[in-house]
Structure 1
């Protein structure tokens, strides 16, 4: 099969690498335009583009695929992309975390298959890995589905699950799901003629809204168990945080423990017990923290440079 690939971040790059190494011919890659990144805010190619260029695969980076865009530049780029796809000899488009909506005009050119990091219909949308951890789900997985105009509503071709461990962060779970997705899409394309699409169930639909930086601020009036899940869900992005003494402290590892006190009160802060902060229900032991401009440090090391006597988190 000849496969056009559309994707942007590392999750997608893993799938692209799997298809390439499996021997599929990839005549074209679509990915989002280069974005400013890093401290210097220099333009940086996406992981998908970096892989494609390193392996001699042509790349297109349209701002939009919507032919009816009111922005003349976006409409022109969408038209050019559609013309390129229409001329191209390929069998299927594989889409993984592309970041652009595929309109009907794109879906109608060739069949489009999506690699989605959840057990659909749970967690349709932009941030299924974050939301699964935040909600306390015990398992997640990858769904390979046919794409249609609705948001992750298409019929499923294949689905596999894996457990979410108490230690999983979005970072660690991302890597597991990316590897699973890469293996599954290779298998699905090899068996493409045999697979029969199965409509998604009507029950159990949830939506994984895009993560905002604002929601990463911990509300210590919430139960400690919920806050510990948020810490894991927002690691590595955007990073859970709270303020202590007017300083924003990022919290990278935490666990719920027993404890009673006014939410935000530091119940313990020493090398032996670590940093324990009272919550609305129970308490949170902070195991890894980071102050602005500093490194991530274990609690005992953090306390050497940031004593918490007479301070509270808020």
Structure 2
């Protein structure tokens, strides 16, 4: 069996000190520089030690103080059985994380909560993923892998873009945490999402436009779908918190809008309210998608 990397061995030693009471709740743990000096490792390795302990919830950063032992310190009696980690795989870790985020939101996700879901020690996860950031990317890519584009595309560029946009929307709808993981401005190593980008650019590249224009169109479409989808998770959480759907919440706020309507200062808004307009995010998405593609049609004939 392969030996754990140095940062995990050091993190395990510091965890032992915490659980043994050698480092008590609220006390400072060795700094990155102190860890590097004590264990003879590079600063980068020492930084990963602190990150691993933080992910597990054993330590926390306190402004102007440093990194301290979290309160209360976890008990050794509550640790999961270690033999469960023998059957752990990266796919199992990723799926458990997806299930957790689907059920409780991405904010509830940590290396510690995923480990609890799997019934394994938190440190065992680091043999499969480097931390929460990498885990998030693996989760997102796994979701996009389940939304596969067909081998034979529809005959027109517009139909192809409609298909990929609706497929992304379906992924965001099924996993409301997903839009917050995907970046518009910083490319991420997600091969399955890259297939979506390739699909869009191939659909548009033979219509007389420069490659840069084709790429801008891809980013615009991707940004529109993601930008609309970022509203899904807050609404899901708000409905769970209040027990009210979006329409029910608006009805409950009717008295608050009364003075604005009665003032006559917002006639267009008043006319909309008088028609009992039902807000539906899926309809908003579809309306915006068609208007966006109408604009693309000026360029891609």
TM-score, scaled to structure 2: 0.28
TM-score, scaled to structure 1: 0.27
Please tell me whether Structure 1 or Structure 2 has the larger radius of gyration of its CA atoms: 2
Judging by fraction of residues, say which structure has more strand.
1
Judging by fraction of residues, say which structure has more helix.
2
